[in-house]
Amino acid sequence: MPRYFLEVAYRGENYSGFQVQKNANTIQAEVEKALSIFYKKSYSLTGSSRTDAGVHAYQNFFHFDAENEISDSEKDIYNLNALLPPDIVVKNFFRVKDNAHCRFDAVLRGYKYFIYHKKNPFVKDTAFFYPYTLDLEKMKIAANLILQYEDFSSFSKKKTQVKNFNCKISCSEWLEEEGILVYHVESNRFLRGMVKGLVGTMLRVGRGIITLNDFQKIIESKDRSNADFSVPSHGLFLVKVVFGEPLRDEK
């Protein structure tokens, strides 16, 4: 059966996350609905990264199988977008190898969390207003300390079905972009709530509520009750998903 990848972007504030759920609207549900209307057939989608409720994405992927080859032209992308809500867009749509898998073939995922200090009506829905004095240098040291660890049990929410809590983080840094404070992190995988837990706990370092030594102890404790997950979802963006092998079917 031919397999296709859909690259999507979305604002997540109106959805209960990425993956389809009972009695709640999700990104997956809206995309499946648009596909079923346009192609007059139901398709079951598999997602590459499961963003939580309220989280946005500049880039995420689905794959699905079709009984027969279907068009992946610019015209089809246009028509699918016409059926989707204004806060979800199909950016790309292409045939891939039959064994390509948008979740298991992804080797790296990147997130950014955006924070602003002064009232700004233009970013209030996509960044966290945090009007406190922060020691950015200490936060940068904390971000660098994260690279020394692989077990992030302390930053995983409860009720998550994973075999282990190990993540290979390759980038962890605090940046400033046009007056916005940004935490940028890349890893082979992320645990549920992990980025929000890291950000919330590092903000405590920045405010002097905990020390850098305390921060290390929180990582090493492997106890989620020591971390701070309180930052809101609307400041978090999945910014990229990277695949290790060429995926396109060149037939």
CA distances (Å), origin 25, targets 46, 85, 159, 223: 16, 12, 21, 32
228 is catalytic: no
- Class of residue 118 by CB neighbours under 10 A (exposed 0-12, middle 13-18, buried 19+): exposed
Classify residue 46 by burial, with Cβ atoms within 10 Å: 0-12, 13-18, 19+.
middle
Q: What is the DSSP string of 42-107?
A: ----EES--PPTT-EEEEEEEEEE-SS-----HHHHHHHHHHS-TTEEEEEEEEE-TT--TTTTEE
Q: Locate tokens 């980038």: which residue?
A: 171
CB contact at 8 A, 45 and 106:
no
Active site residues: 52
